[in-house]
């Protein structure tokens, strides 16, 4: 990793999240908000410096999209996911979540209006990993750099050799899309099955599609309130382009 001047760092960060080469003040604030929780929690301004290295995780090349008008709640996608990834018939380890959408309605206890299901309007909207853009919450939260972009698909994937089972990535995901295997003592998440998602192939209703990536993190509210704890080394890296919003009182 080579060091870059401040303008170059900011331009790379902007491009990584879809802002292009130039940042308006509004765009710069949007970049700031992405990492605001972790920044406030740790008071990272002391760690920032002009010579800090920059690590930017590129966007994924694809993602899963769900058509809730087609989903019948059969949960075959869950089983296909676990059979391919783990060689087991244990839907609780699935990286796609149908069950929690199926059993809670619009006024349910686990998501309010975001949860539709059989008790709401009849639509089943399974949860899928959104392959979040930089700064990706689970990637930022991992103190061991065990989550990175797959070289083939760009999907965020957990490195089994590096994961120590701290579960901080689970707590950091606003949509609760990471799973934890108690037998292996490690976390896991959707990595798009190397570009051929088995859940898409298994869906009998064609409710799942593998499409080109776009940022869907702002299209619906988070399932859980989260406060990401950013490791110090990661904070120093991110501090090159994510700066705090300093409130200044107007002097009259």
Give the model confidence (pLDDT) of 111-167 as tens digits. Answer: 444 556 666 667 788 889 999 998 899 998 898 999 999 999 999 999 999 999 999
CA distance 246 to 173: 26
Domain positions in the chain:
6-57+233-238, 60-126+197-214
* pLDDT value at residue 117: 66
pLDDT, one tens digit per residue, over 16-52 is 444 454 445 544 444 444 444 343 333 333 333 444 4
Instruction: Give me the percent of the chain exceeding a pLDDT of 70.
Output: 60
Which residues are registered as beta bridge partners of 97? 127
The band of 104, judged by pLDDT with boundaries at 50, 70 and 90, is: low
- How many Å separate Cα 17 from the centre of its chain? 13
Backbone angles phi, psi at 10, to 5 degrees: -65, -40
If you count DSSP H runs as helices and E runs as strands, how many of each does the chain have, helices first? 9, 6
* pLDDT value at residue 57: 83
Sign for the pseudo-dihedral over CA of 245, 221, 16, 187:
positive
């Amino acid at each position: 990793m080579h060091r870059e001047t401040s303008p170059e760092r900011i331009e790379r960060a902007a491009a990584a999240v879809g802002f292009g080469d130039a940042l308006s003040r509004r765009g710069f604030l949007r970049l700031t908000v992405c990492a605001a929780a972790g920044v406030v929690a740790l008071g990272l301004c002391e760690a920032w410096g002009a010579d800090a290295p920059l690590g930017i995780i590129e966007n994924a090349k694809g993602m899963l999209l769900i058509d809730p008008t087609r989903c019948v709640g059969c949960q075959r996608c869950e089983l296909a996911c676990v059979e391919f990834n783990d060689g087991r018939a244990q839907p609780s380890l699935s990286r796609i979540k149908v069950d929690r959408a199926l059993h809670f309605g619009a006024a349910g206890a686990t998501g309010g209006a975001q949860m539709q299901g059989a008790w709401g309007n009849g639509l089943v909207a399974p949860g899928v990993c959104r392959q979040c853009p930089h700064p990706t919450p689970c990637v930022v939260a991992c103190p061991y750099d065990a989550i990175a972009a797959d070289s083939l698909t760009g999907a965020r994937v957990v490195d089994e050799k590096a994961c120590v089972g701290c579960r901080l990535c689970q707590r950091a995901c606003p949509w609760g899309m990471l799973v934890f295997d108690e037998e292996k003592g490690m976390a896991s998440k959707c990595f798009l099955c190397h570009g051929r998602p088995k859940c898409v192939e298994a869906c009998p209703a064609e409710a799942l599609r593998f499409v080109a990536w776009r940022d869907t993190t702002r299209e619906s509210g988070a399932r859980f309130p989260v406060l990401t704890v950013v490791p110090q080394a990661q904070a120093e890296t991110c501090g090159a382009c994510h700066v705090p919003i300093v409130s200044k009182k107007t002097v009259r």
